[in-house]
């Protein structure tokens, strides 16, 4: 009887150890990978940022088997983001991504305000997306847009146009307004979906923002794309 009891207690102990280990691994990850992730992220920070950002707590997400390190700017702890260590051993720099996203939002807002003032276009009329050729590791989260950074802009005209000529009557003046905005727009795409076909649109795409009105018209086409 005592032997059976000892066996039962031993089995329960083993189950408890296995369960506790499983819970630990789910919460913290593999200890070897934990320290590997910590070392790799710290090395990445030292290489690209020096002492500009500080690594904080390292957390683990079992769903994606990924480690997340919180990071803050050394001169302003209110500015914070994260750097990720993926199962593949790759580093995901969310801090750099957040810098770019904030700056692109700033430029989009600036363009919208300008077009609203110049052409009375509202947020219901246009949807603006911008992409910056941002040099990495040179800016912080509160950095303002540097007007020397090239911009790619995409604007959807949300209103319906009865014809290509009707579309051009709005699109071309809009582009001409952007030409005087004073930021280096290297690529621009304007488009508006045809009301009778949600997969086709009028589209004006320019790789030179110094284009004449005739060139803008010649670059306006009806194209079919997948939403």
Cβ–Cβ under 8 Å, residues 151 and 126 = no
- Domain count for the chain, please give it: 2
DSSP track, 1-21? -HHHHHHHHHHHHHHHHHHHH
Q: Is residue 142 part of a domain?
A: yes
Same domain flag for 209 and 119: yes
pLDDT of residue 31: 85
Q: Is residue 187 part of a domain?
A: yes
Q: Is residue 50 part of a domain?
A: yes
Strands 185-194 and 151-157 come out as parallel
Same domain flag for 129 and 76: no
Same domain flag for 76 and 106: no
Same domain flag for 50 and 144: no
pLDDT of residue 1: 54
Same domain flag for 218 and 181: yes
- pLDDT, averaged in runs of 10, over the chain (227 residues): 53 45 48 92 96 94 92 94 95 97 96 94 94 93 93 93 90 89 88 83 82 80 70
Q: Is residue 22 part of a domain?
A: no
Same domain flag for 135 and 203: yes
- Of 89, 110, 131, which closes a domain? 89
DSSP category for residue 196: T
Q: Is residue 78 part of a domain?
A: yes
Domain containing 202 equals: 99-224
pLDDT of residue 130: 96
Same domain flag for 148 and 179: yes
155 token code pair? 């604007």
Same domain flag for 117 and 219: yes
Rounded to an integer, what distance in angstroms lies between the CA atom of residue 91 and that of residue 40?
Answer: 8
pLDDT of residue 104: 96
Same domain flag for 220 and 110: yes
Same domain flag for 200 and 134: yes
- Of 89, 122, 141, which closes a domain? 89
Q: Is residue 1 part of a domain?
A: no
Same domain flag for 83 and 194: no
Q: Could you read off the pLDDT of 68-126 as tens digits, one per residue? A: 999 999 999 999 999 999 999 999 999 999 999 999 999 999 999 999 999 999 989 99
Q: Is residue 23 part of a domain?
A: no
> What is the edge-to-edge ordering of all strands in the sheet holding 91-93?
53-61, 66-73, 76-85, 91-93
- Of 51, 67, 89, which closes a domain? 89
Same domain flag for 118 and 137: yes
Residue found by looking up tokens 């992409």 in the block: 131
Q: Is residue 173 part of a domain?
A: yes
Cβ–Cβ under 8 Å, residues 96 and 83 = no
């Amino acid at each position: 009887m005592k032997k059976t009891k000892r066996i039962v207690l031993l089995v329960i102990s083993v189950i408890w150890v296995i369960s506790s280990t499983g819970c630990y691994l789910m919460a913290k990850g593999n200890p070897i990978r934990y320290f590997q992730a910590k070392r790799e992220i710290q090395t990445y920070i030292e290489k690209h940022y020096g002492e500009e950002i500080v690594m904080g707590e390292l957390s683990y997400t079992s769903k994606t088997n990924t480690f997340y390190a919180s990071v803050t700017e050394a001169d302003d702890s209110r500015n914070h983001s994260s750097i990720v260590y993926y199962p593949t051993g790759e580093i995901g720099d969310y801090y750099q991504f957040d810098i770019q996203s904030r700056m692109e939002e700033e430029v989009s807002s600036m363009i919208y305000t300008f077009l609203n003032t110049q052409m009375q276009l509202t947020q219901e009329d246009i949807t603006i997306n911008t992409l910056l050729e941002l040099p990495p590791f040179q800016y912080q989260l509160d950095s303002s847009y540097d007007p020397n950074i090239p911009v790619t802009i995409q604007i959807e005209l949300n209103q319906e146009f009865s014809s290509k000529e009707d579309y051009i009557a709005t699109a071309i003046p809009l582009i001409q307004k952007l030409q005087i905005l004073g930021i280096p727009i290297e690529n621009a795409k304007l488009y508006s979906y045809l009301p009778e076909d949600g997969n086709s649109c009028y589209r004006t795409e320019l790789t030179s923002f110094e284009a004449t009105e005739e060139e803008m018209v010649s670059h306006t086409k009806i194209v079919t794309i997948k939403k």
